[in-house]
Amino acid sequence: MSYLQLGASLYVPATRGDLVEIANRRRFPELRSVIFCTEDAIAAADVPQAVANLRCLLMQLEPVGLRRFVRVRNPEVLSVLLAAEGIQHLDGIVLPKLTRHNLADYLRVIPEASSLRLMPTLETADVFDPSEMRALRDLLLADRVRPRVICLRIGGNDLLQVLGLRRPRGRTIYETPLGPSIAQLVTIFPPQGLSLTAPVFDRFDDAETLAREVRMDVEFGLLGKTAIHPQQIPLIESHYCVGEMDWETAQRILHRDAPPVFRHNDVMCEPATHYRWANVIYQRAEIYGVDRS
């Protein structure tokens, strides 16, 4: 599974009564991925009910092409779910507030034979310490762990909470103090093949700012974003569609007979330098299409 296939991942509290309808695409059929949450989206007193709901859900999952994940609250909740009937039908687990200090607690309860993939979330004060992020990165690159990791998610609201802040109206996440931190994460994880997805946009009534933010996400290489409402999904994913000029350039770069250096659309192209970019463009086009307008 490629992180590029996730698109806008809808967060759904696991206490809802329509989990089966959502998970089997009878509600919100446009979804590419969904994350059922047992962590910050629900109160501590509701965790037993959320876990019970998920255990019931796992036995009713149908093969509908939707990528389905659970954001666990802690290793204990993960352990309970791993023992549940039907867990093999789940695509993966979102690990909340992951650091180098608690990664082992989660890995300890995951059987070697399990096919579950992982999406760690970066949302603690450690994010502001480059040495901590490099240490976590190195642990995630270990032979036992790396094949499980689809991508890392950036928890924007939790990171703002660490700073005692909330995003102002009309501001993208890049126009807050988190902007430099996101840029730093981009230089630490993706160079080693660990992709990042973008933080949630937590306003329902500001499509203009959301659109600006998603354009910045794409420029930072953050493809995939948490959605808090289905109405955000078409807007987010429309920005993953590839422009015709980029598509043509990527095709030329990836062509087996491409020269070492060439000019296309008045831009210098070097396949050795631009191969990774072109490959992502190609995959995006396969999933989200090409805008030929």
The answer to whether 2 touches 33, Cβ cutoff 8 Å, is no
Look up tokens 């955000």; give the residue: 232
Taken in order 240, 241, 246, 250, the sign of the CA dihedral is: positive
pLDDT for residue 57: 97
Q: How far is CA 280 from each of CA 130, 229, 261, 289, rounded to the nearest angstrom? A: 26, 27, 20, 13
Torsion-angle region of 128 (φ positive above 0: left; ψ -120 to 50: alpha; else: beta): alpha
pLDDT for residue 293: 77
Residue (of 217, 209, 211, 78) closest to 151 by Cα position: 217
- Give the whole-angstrom CA distance, residue 99 versus residue 92: 19
* CATH (residue range 3-240): 3.20.20.60
The dihedrals phi and psi of 119, each to the nearest 5 degrees, come to -130, 90
Average pLDDT per consecutive 10 residues, the chain (293 residues; last block may be shorter): 96 96 96 96 94 97 96 96 95 98 96 92 98 98 96 97 95 97 98 97 95 98 96 97 93 86 82 90 96 84
pLDDT for residue 189: 98
- Give the whole-angstrom CA distance, residue 4 versus residue 10: 15
Q: Where in the chain are all domains bearing CATH 3.20.20.60?
A: 3-240
Tokens of 255: 């062509």
Beta strands in 130-260 (DSSP E): 152-154, 196-197, 225-227, 242-243
H-assigned helices in 24-129? 47-58, 75-82, 103-107
pLDDT for residue 259: 82
pLDDT for residue 211: 98
pLDDT for residue 262: 80
- Give the whole-angstrom CA distance, residue 226 versus residue 31: 12
Tokens of 238: 């429309």
